[in-house]
Amino acid sequence: MPQDVPQATLLATITGTDRPGVTAAVVGALAGRGLEVLDVEQHVVRGHLTLAVLVTAGADAAADAAALREAAAPFGLEVRSETSTAADALPVSPRSHVAVLAAPLRPEQLAEVAGAVARAGASIDAIRRLATATPEHPVTCLELDVRGAETAALRRDLAAVAAATGVDVAVSPAGLVRHGRRLVVLDVDSTLIQDEVIELIAAHAGPEAQHRVAEVTERAMRGELDFAESLHERVAALAGLDERVLADVRAAVRLTPGAEVLATVLQRLGFVMALVSGGFAEVVEPLAASLGIARVRANRLEVVDGRLTGRVSGPVVDRAAKAAALREFAAAEDLPLERTVAVGDGANDLDMIAAAGLGVAFNAKPLVREQADTSLTTPYLDNVLHLLGISREEADEVRRPAAAVVLPAGAQDDGGAAAVVLRPLTREDLPLLGRWLDEPRVARWWPDAHTPADLEADYGPSIDGTDPTVLQLALTASGRPFGFVQSYRYDDEPESRAELAALVPVPVGALGLDYLIGEPDLQGRGLGAALVAESAARALAAHPGAGEVLVSVALGNRASWRALEKAGFVRAAEGGMTPDNPLDPRDHVVYRLRRPATPGGMER
């Protein structure tokens, strides 16, 4: 056909109650007629079907339309058709994704957004649901595919709509930039967590220190002090405080709703997460470790003879340093800045938000909302997922826990947890183990000295078989070493038995486990749960007389107790135990996994 002759097309729109086989029957009616499929759109809302089929028009378009009506009739569907000789190809124009979030989302809000899109000269190609409000998470999110307006201009226009209607709107460019790995950097105080850490510390220093901290904070908010000045003045009010109160502060920190969901989903998808905080590493680093986050930048409190000096050690992590950290982490991960996301709430986050490919103001001050690419005003941090095009349903799929039974060796469970392979630890593995133990996030929960001599003294007897503790190296299914586990009988560990017995009965023959995930980039990918399940199964198989496995972890070590729960362990007790790290709180939780009562399951 000559190129200057417009291609005739037939557009058929089929509506009615959805039933299995509708699409196959309707499209099949056009088979063998020499037609070409140009486009198909299908949506089902509460059982109501809308199916649009665009094909090249044949020699007898009326007969083609009649065939469609005949195929749809047994299903009780209505068919509308029209032919056209206009060019079907849409002109190349900018495309954007527009996420609309509210709790609840009202028709007038959506209408205002759609009106702003139209006034910008753009059209909405499609709308899909990313989240439906539930009693536990009352946020609805829709994503609009928009064509015909520049992303930056559309973002500016919709920001005004968002401010006027109380809806959150995020505009991001379509195309390849939407896909693939990203770096997501979070502020901590009032973003990742609900608290301001310096206020929690000041509460332990007495009313005078609390008043001083609050006064300096107020002056900083009025613009009388920059961040570095305010930090130094507030930390000075803490001078003389016993460093042991930091353990109580760590235990008191409250994660923002949705924080664990966000961390789990992003890291399971291969994204990199980082925490950049004007707060304190003594609190932020253990929190990051509990969420599987390896990259951290925060201020550090100076401690002399077990007491805070009222000074910070090293350069202050201020507004400029936060942006520098984002750039540094992106370069280390070989990611361009357009593939970075920054989330924060205060003026100290503005440079970081401006530097990122997508800057998000989370429950932020007005100044931050005005300058960020988008703003979230709902108190759920996992809504950041929707800004990246991830639906709640998809997030739930990624978060699906490991099977609540012990996995067979080398297996992969239906929930998507990674398979693991265990082999005996050898002396050749000790340097690798030492490197893992050097990680600050690991040392928080496993603080024993680990020089080569220490490692040999601790683990050499077990490697030689003269100590009953079983040491194993954990590898991914592809053979990459990622972790370490040791299993033992409490009968052989009288001190551990006595500690545990104060909280829960310890039967004769009961088994214990200790483990770590050593590789930072493999945190948060289901390996912990799979490792625990596999090692528990092997320990029970090696000790037929053992009836259960008991594991105690610090209550603040969320990563460990989440892994245990996903592996089928249940909480047996909570209470005070001597922590491995003397700076940590005594609060512990004990988990139990009993030997299967029947084949195919674990008794809880």
Active site residues: 187, 189
> Buried b vs exposed e over 411-450: b needs ≥16 C-beta within 10 Å?
bbbebebbbbbbeebeeebbeebeebbebebbbbbbeeeb
Q: Rounded CA gap, 181 and 418, in Å? A: 19
Could you tell me where the DSSP H helices lie in 384-451?
384-387, 392-399, 430-438, 440-443
| 8 A C-beta contact, residue 101 and residue 168 | yes
DSSP H or E stretch at residue 259: helix 259-268
- Residues with Cβ within 8 Å of residue 271, at least 6 apart in sequence: 181, 182, 183, 184
Distance CA 118, CA 164 (A): 17
Q: What tokens were used for 453? A: 């001599």
Q: With the C-alpha atoms ordered 26, 28, 30, 35, is the resulting torsion angle positive or negative?
A: positive
Is residue 412 within 8 A of residue 540, CB to CB? The reply is: no
Residue 42 near residue 73, CB atoms below 8 Å: no
Extended beta strands in 148-250, E state: 168-173, 183-186
Distances in Å between the Cα of 369 and the Cα atoms of 170, 217, 362 are 12, 20, 8
Strands 78-84 and 374-376: unpaired
Chain position carrying tokens 């569907």:
77
In the numeric block, which tokens belong to residue 514? 């200790």
Ramachandran angles phi, psi of 340, nearest 5°: -115, 150
Contact at 8 Å (CB) between 130 and 390?
yes
C-beta separation of 259 from 194 below 8 A: no
Taking each continuous run of H as one helix and of E as one strand, the counts in the chain are 21, 22
Of residues 39, 37, 33, the one with CA closest to residue 60: 33
- Cα angle 46, 382, 192; round to 5: 165
Name the nearest CA neighbour of 411 among 538, 290, 508, 310: 538
* Torsion, CA 563, CA 564, CA 565, CA 570, rounded to 10: -170
Tokens 């992590």 -> residue: 317
Q: Per the structure block, which two tokens stand in for 562?
A: 């989440």
Residues 6+ apart with CB under 8 A from 132: 140, 392
Query: How far from 529 is each of 217, 311, 350, 398, 443, CA to CA, in Å?
Result: 42, 40, 38, 14, 20
